[in-house]
Amino acid sequence: MIVDTLDNLKNYVGCNKYFADIVKFIEENDLASLEEGKHFIHEKALFVNIQTAKGKTKEEATFETHRRMLDIQIPLDAPETYGYIPLKDMPEQEYNAEKDVTKYPGVEAQSYVTCYPGMFAIFFPQDGHQPCISDAPQIKKAIFKAEV
C-alpha cells in the first residue's frame, strides 16, 4: 500500500508499467468533472472508474483483494478512510475471477488510513483494503484499475 498526494504520483511510475499513463491521464483530465462510469485508457488493462459510493461505517465496509489488477483510489469530494490488512493475514475466501475480487465480510482492520481530496491510496494484490469508510453520506471517487 502507498498513500501520498497526487502531485507526487509521478514519483511512483516505476511501480507499474501503466503508472506513467495514469499520471498523463490525470494531468489531461479533471477527474471531478468526468462522467460516472468506466473510462478505458488501455482497453481492459487500464481504466478509471468514476463513481459515487455510499459512505459506510467501519462495520459496514467490506474488505477486498484483487489478483490481476491494482487499485489507485482517489477521493474527489470528501475524505475516505481505508482499512488495511496484508493478504497473508486474511482468511481463506472464494475468488471471483470474472470480477477479479475476493470479498472478506466481517474482517476487522489491523490499521486505517484516511485520504483527503488531492491524495491517493494504491492497493496492490497483496493489500487487503476496506474502502468507502466515511462520515460523508456519499463519496465521489476515481478508482484507477491497472493490470499487474
pLDDT tens across 31-51, in order? 999 999 999 999 999 999 999
Mean pLDDT, residues 116-122 taken together: 98
Q: What is the pLDDT of residue 60?
A: 97
| Residues comprising the chain, all counted | 148
Residue with cell string 475468488? 95
| Average pLDDT of the residues in 78-107 | 97
Residue 19 class from Cβ within 10 Å (0-12 exposed, 13-18 middle, 19+ buried)?
buried
Confidence (pLDDT) at 50: 98
**pLDDT band of 86, cuts 50, 70, 90:** very high
Q: What is the pLDDT of residue 94?
A: 97
Task: Look at phi and psi of residue 106 and say left if phi exceeds 0, alpha if psi is from -120 to 50, else beta.
Answer: left
**Are 129 and 81 in contact, with CB atoms under 8 Å apart?**
no
Rounded to an integer, the average pLDDT of 6-30 is 97
Percentage with pLDDT > 70 across the chain: 100
**Residue whose entry in the numeric block shows the C-alpha cell 489491523:** 110
Mean of pLDDT values over 86-96: 97
